[in-house]
Amino acid sequence: MLFSLATLLLLSQLLVLAGYAANLLAFPFDYDQGEGYELEAVRYLSQFQLPYQDVDRFPYYGSHYPPLFHIVLVPFHWAFGPAYWYGRALSLACVLLTALAIAYAVGKESGHRSIATLAGLAFLASNTVYHQAPLFRHHTLMVLLETLAVVLLATAPGDLRKVPTRRLLWCSTLVIAAGFAKPLAIFTALAISAYLILRAPQRAWRWILGSALAGAAIFVGFLWLSEGEWWRQIIIANANSPSILHGWRLARLWLRVHGWLIAPALLLVGFEWYFSRISLYSLWFVCTAFFSAISSGGWGAGDNYYMTAIAATCILSGIFAARILQQQWRFPQNAYGRLIHRLAPLARSLRQPLFLLPAVLYLGYALAVLHHPTDTPGFRELAQLLGHEANVLPERPFYDGARTSLGHYPPGYSNIGHFTTEEDVRAGWLIVDWLRQTAGPVISEDAGFAIRAEKSVITHAPFLWNLAERDHFDSSALIAQLAAREFSAIVLRAPFFPADVEAAIFAHYEEVAEIPLNGFRYRILEPRVS
What tens digit of pLDDT does each residue of 417-436 get? Answer: 889 989 999 999 999 999 99
Please state whether the predicted TM-score (pTM) of the whole model is above 0.85: yes
Q: What is the Cα–Cα distance from 309 to 54, expressed in whole angstroms?
A: 35
Q: How many CA atoms lie within 13 A of 340 on its CB side?
A: 12
- Give me the pLDDT at residue 413, please: 47
The 3-state DSSP class for residue 106 equals helix
pLDDT score, position 164: 85
| Amino acid at position 436, single letter | R
Backbone angles phi, psi at 403, to 5 degrees: 55, 40
Task: Quote the pLDDT of residue 414.
Answer: 57
Considering only CA atoms, which of 28, 44, 113, 1 is closest in space to residue 460?
A: 44
Q: For residue 197, what are the contacts with CB-CB under 8 A and spacing of at least 6?
A: 204, 205
Burial zone of 212 (CB within 10 Å; 0-12 exposed, 13-18 middle, 19+ buried)? middle
Of 171-185, 294-308, 507-521, the one with minimum mean pLDDT is 294-308
Instruction: Answer whether 414's CB lies under 8 Å from 51's CB.
Output: no
- With H, G, I as helix, E, B as strand and everything else as coil, classify residue 226: coil
Q: Which of 45-54, 116-125, 381-390, 449-458 has the lowest mean pLDDT?
A: 381-390
Where does residue 389 rank: exposed (0-12), middle (13-18), buried (19+ CB within 10 A)? exposed
Q: How far apart are alpha carbons 58 and 79 in whole angstroms?
A: 28
Query: Under DSSP, is residue 520 helix (H, G, I), strand (E, B) or coil?
Result: strand
- For the chain, give every domain's residue range: 2-30+84-362, 31-64+421-530
Rounded mean pLDDT of 134-148?
95
- Interval 341-386: pLDDT, tens: 555 555 555 555 667 888 889 999 999 998 888 887 777 887 888 7
- Residue 376 DSSP code: S
| Coil, strand or helix at 418 | coil
Q: How many CA atoms lie within 13 A of 350 on its CB side?
A: 8
Residue of 452, 459, 454 lying closest to 490 (CA atoms)? 459
Four-point Cα dihedral 186, 144, 112, 121, nearest 10: 120
Confidence of residue 412 (pLDDT cuts 50, 70, 90): very low
Instruction: Please state, in angstroms and rounded to a whole number, the distance separating the CA atoms of residues 524 and 505.
Output: 11
Which residue type is seen at 480? Answer: A
Q: Among residues of the chain, what percentage have pLDDT more than 70?
A: 90
SS3 content of the chain, % helix, strand, coil (to 5): 65, 5, 30
Mean per-residue pLDDT of the chain: 88
- Mean pLDDT over residues 492-512, rounded? 92
| Mean pLDDT, residues 233-251 | 80
Q: Report the 10 Å Cβ neighbour count for 381.
A: 10
Q: What is the CA radius of gyration of the chain?
A: 25
Is residue 194 pLDDT above 90, yes or no?
Answer: yes
